[in-house]
């Protein structure tokens, strides 16, 4: 690279510190050992958490105090029997039909021996799904999701099916090791349509691992010094994997496995240590799944509104079309590629 290009690129790399950029290998400033020894990464973690708490406070109206306090303290919120039995039964039947017949395309991601299928529930698709639309339009749920996400923009929602042990692979499923998604608070939710047990892979989460106590900060500091040259590529990219013995070493809690009945709503801050729990080969679990990740240092909770909700889905669909085109040019499949529904039913033999 010429001297002039390096001169132009350096400020951009520095500005990335104030975005959601997290890779220790893609950005030499984020991965700079000297800066991280002086606390750069830990500063980003602390600042992102403080800004998120500020935004959440602005979105707390209408969310019960006990739910707010539980989420901030534990890093998750688990609500059993979230929907009435009648509405839940209708929702489950409607989404099972979606999984088999549409509307919407099924996309698949393969990691280790696990296949994950998702159907995007954008506004156009939801217009054909009256029960799902009713559930996702509920004011109580929207207020709760906005509070946990720290943003007025609603999360992007999919119907998700995780199929365990569905393919041969020499690599382990990276989602089945304890990890954090990124350095900033990030909200994900699951409304389980089936009972969840060790048969089909319960969510695991380290309670209070979102708290910036000395143990968590010491772990973040340790990881920031080793991430760039770490053997695990996800850790290199800023999604730190929790090494064996780390919880005990840094005085953190053991993980909890969420073995819960159908009709449970689970919301988690995946800045906390989490992962997919153990599961039997051939098993699966079906859930309404959503995610929200915001710009970490934005001081205000942003805009909402249906226009912005539609825009974020259009951006995602454009990104997926671009990824499909790039992968096809190289004769491979994109990481989230379209699969046919007939083979989908044949694969799921749990």
Looking at residue 10, what is its pLDDT? 61
Looking at residue 169, what is its pLDDT? 87
Q: Where are the beta strands (DSSP E) in the chain?
A: 76-79, 106-111, 114-120, 156-163, 187-192, 203-205, 256-258, 265-269, 274-276, 284-292, 337-339
How many other CB atoms are found less than 10 A from the CB of residue 295?
Answer: 13
What phi and psi values does residue 13 have, to the nearest 5 degrees? -65, -40
What is the distance between the alpha carbons of residues 275 and 284, in angstroms, rounded to a whole number? Answer: 16
Scored b (16 or more CB within 10 A) or e, 21-39 reads: bbebbebebbbbeebbeee
What is the distance between the alpha carbons of residues 324 and 338, in angstroms, rounded to a whole number? Answer: 9
The pTM (predicted TM-score) of the whole model is 0.93
Looking at residue 350, what is its pLDDT? 39
Bridge partners, residue 77, by sequence: 267
**Radius of gyration for the chain, computed over Cα atoms and rounded to the nearest angstrom:** 20
Do residues 294 and 150 touch, judged by C-beta distance below 8 A?
yes
How many other CB atoms are found less than 10 A from the CB of residue 91?
Answer: 21
What is the distance between the alpha carbons of residues 64 and 82, in angstroms, rounded to a whole number? Answer: 15
Give the pLDDT of the chain (350 residues) as one tens digit per residue: 443 444 445 677 889 999 999 999 999 999 999 999 999 999 999 999 999 999 999 999 999 999 999 999 999 999 999 999 999 999 999 999 998 888 999 999 999 999 999 999 999 999 999 999 999 999 999 999 999 999 999 999 999 999 999 998 888 899 999 999 999 999 999 999 999 999 999 999 999 999 999 999 999 999 999 999 999 999 999 999 999 999 999 999 999 999 999 999 999 999 999 999 999 999 999 999 999 999 999 999 999 989 999 999 999 999 999 999 999 999 999 999 999 874 444 344 33
Burial class (CB in 10 A: 0-12, 13-18, 19+), 57: middle
| DSSP-derived secondary structure for 132-180 | HHHHHT-HHHHHHHHHHHTSSSPPEEEEEEEETT-S--SS--GGGS-B-
- Residues recorded for the chain: 350
Do residues 284 and 348 touch, judged by C-beta distance below 8 A?
yes
């Amino acid at each position: 690279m010429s001297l002039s290009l390096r001169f132009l690129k350096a400020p951009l790399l520095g500005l990335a510190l104030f975005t959601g950029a997290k890779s220790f290998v893609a950005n030499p400033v984020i991965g700079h050992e000297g800066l991280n020894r002086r606390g750069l990464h830990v500063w980003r973690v602390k600042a992102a958490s403080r800004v998120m708490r500020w935004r959440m406070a602005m979105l707390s109206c209408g969310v019960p105090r006990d739910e707010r306090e539980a989420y901030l303290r534990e890093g998750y919120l688990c609500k059993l029997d979230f929907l009435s039995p009648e509405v839940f039964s209708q929702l489950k039947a409607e989404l099972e039909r979606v999984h088999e017949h549409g509307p919407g395309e099924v996309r698949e991601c393969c990691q280790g021996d696990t296949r994950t299928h998702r159907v995007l529930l954008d506004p156009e698709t939801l217009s054909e799904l009256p029960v799902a639309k009713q559930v996702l339009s509920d004011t109580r749920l929207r207020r709760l999701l906005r509070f946990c996400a720290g943003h007025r923009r609603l999360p992007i929602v999919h119907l998700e099916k995780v199929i365990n042990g569905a393919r041969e692979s020499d690599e382990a499923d990276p989602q089945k090791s304890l990890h954090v998604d990124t350095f900033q608070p990030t909200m994900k939710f699951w409304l389980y349509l089936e009972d969840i047990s060790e048969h089909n892979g319960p969510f695991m989460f380290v309670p209070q691992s979102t708290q910036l106590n000395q143990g968590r900060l010491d772990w973040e500091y340790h990881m920031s010094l080793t991430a760039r040259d770490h053997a695990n590529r996800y850790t290199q990219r800023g999604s730190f994997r929790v090494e064996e013995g780390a919880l005990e070493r840094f005085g953190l809690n053991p993980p909890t496995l969420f073995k819960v009945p159908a009709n449970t709503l689970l919301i988690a801050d995946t800045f906390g240590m989490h992962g997919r729990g153990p599961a039997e080969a051939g098993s699966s679990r079906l859930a309404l799944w959503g995610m929200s990740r915001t710009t970490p240092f934005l001081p205000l909770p942003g805009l909402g509104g249906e226009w912005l909700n539609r825009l974020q889905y259009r951006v995602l669909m454009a990104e997926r079309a671009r990824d499909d085109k790039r992968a096809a040019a190289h004769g491979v499949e994109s990481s989230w590629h379209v699969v046919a529904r007939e083979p989908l039913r044949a694969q799921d033999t749990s």
